[in-house]
Structure 1
Amino acid sequence: MNEHFPSKIGLSQQFSCSYLPEQKEQLLVILDPNCYSPDRFEQLLALGFRRSGDQIYRPHCPSCSACQSVRVLTAKYKASKSQRRKRNKLNQDYQIVISHQERPEYYPLYEKYITLRHSDGSMYPPNHLQYESFLFCRWMNIVFVELWHHDKLIAVAVTDSMPNSLSAIYTFFDPDYESLSVGSIMIMAQIEQAAKQGKPYLYLGYQIDECKKMRYKTQFLPAQKLVKDIWLDIEP
C-alpha cells in the first residue's frame, strides 16, 4: 500500500443498493494481502474503507456518492440532552460488559433481531453461516460490547479494535427492549470504551443523508465526515 491508496484493488459488479433502491451499488475491494491487518486497515478506515467479514471494501458507485464515512472524536464527545435521558434509563439492573470472545448467547439474539426487525432486508432469513461471515474476521482484533439485564443478554455491539481507534461493525439486540433506545446506548458505550483506551476515533460506518434509518450517526458530536477524501467537522 502506498502513502495514499492501496496498489491492488478490484471492482465488483453493480447491484441494487440496499439503502437507496433507485441507485446501483458498486464496490472497490482490497486485493493486496498486506492490507489485511489491524494497523493497515486503520489507515484504510481513514480513506473511507470498511470491512465486512474478512473483506475490505469501499463504495465506488457509478452515479452516486451518498455514502460518507463518519467518525466520532471520542475524547471531546459530549452527550446531548436526549442522549443523557436515554443513558439514564439504565439503572443498576443493567450492566455493560466487555468481552473478547464470542458467547453462545450471541447467535440466538442475532437471529431474533434479524427476524423481527429486518425481515424485509438482505440478511433475512438469518443463518449461522451468514452471521459468521458477516461479523467475524480472521485478521482483526474484535471486542464485543454487551448489555445485560440481570442475567439476560439483550444487546451486542461487534467492534473492531485498532491501535488508535475502534470501529463499530454491527449492533444487534432483543427487540423486546427497543424502548430503551438500545442502538444509541451501545454507540455511547463504544465511545466510552474508546475514550478510556485513549483512542481518539470511533468509526461509525457510512452516513447516507437520503436514508432516514442512517441519519442517527451524525447525532454523536463532535464528529467528522469524509467528503471528497477530506475529513470535515460535522456542524451541530
Structure 2
Amino acid sequence: MNEVDELRRAMRATERADWNDLDLGGIMREGRRVRRRRRVAGSGAVAVAVAAVVIGVGGAVARTRPPEPPVLGPAATATAAAPTATADPGPTEPRPRPVGAVVGSGIRYGGDERVFYVVPVDVPELPGVTIGLVAGRRSPGGELATDYLVNDVAGSDRRPGFHEIGYDPQRRVPAYAPVPTFGYFVGPAARIVGTVDGRHIEARLARWSEDQRLVIFWFDPGVLAPGTPLDGIIARDARGRKL
C-alpha cells in the first residue's frame, strides 16, 4: 500500500454521512503520521512525495492544501560521500636489520656497493637456526637493499664447516647487480678455495664482528661468473691444513 492509498484509507475512516462534515484535520494528521513512519523506516535521506487529495463535495471539486513537507534534520538529509579509491599497499615485510657490522666487498654497481651482512631468522621447526646471511647493496647514502638471503635448512647455524652457499642461477636480482657466489664457514679458515671446471678460485674473506668463528666469503664476479655452481670447495687454516 502506497501513501496515497493510506490517505484514502484515512479519508474513509473519517467520512461521515454528510460530505460537508469531513474531518480534514484527521486526514492531515494521518498523512503526517504516514510520512513520519516512512522516514523512520527508510535509510539515508528520504524523499517524501506530496500529492493533492481531490475530494468531491456536492458536485463541486474541493482540493485540500498539500501539507508542508516535514523539515528533515541533518542526519536525514546528509548523503554518504563516495569513498575515494586508493591503492591497497598490501601487507609488507619489514626490511631485515643487520646484526653486527656490514661487510663491504669493494664490488660496485654505479654508486651502490655489494655488501654482506647477517640477519636474524625465525624457523620454528629448526630452533638451532637463528641467523641468515644476506647479499645486499648499500647506496651512497648508507641505505641497504636486500638481494639474496641464505640460511641453513637443517641442524645448527653454528656447527663447524660450510653452511648454505648462495648463488642466483636465475638472475632474479637486477641484471646490473648480479649476486656473486657467497656463503659462510664456521671455523679457523684462513683460505677458502672453490673449484669450477678444474680451475681453483680463491674467495675473499671477512670475519663476522659478532662471532669471529664465522667467516663470510664471496667470489669475485669477474673471476667466477654469478650464477655458476661450484664443483667443490675447501677451507684451509693459517698453516694450510684442510679444515
TM-score interval, normalised by the smaller of the two chains:
under 0.3
Larger Rg: 2
When normalised by structure 1's length, the TM-score is 0.27
Greater RCO, CA 8 A, separation 6+ = 1
Q: 1 or 2, which has the higher helix percentage?
A: 1
When normalised by structure 2's length, the TM-score is 0.26
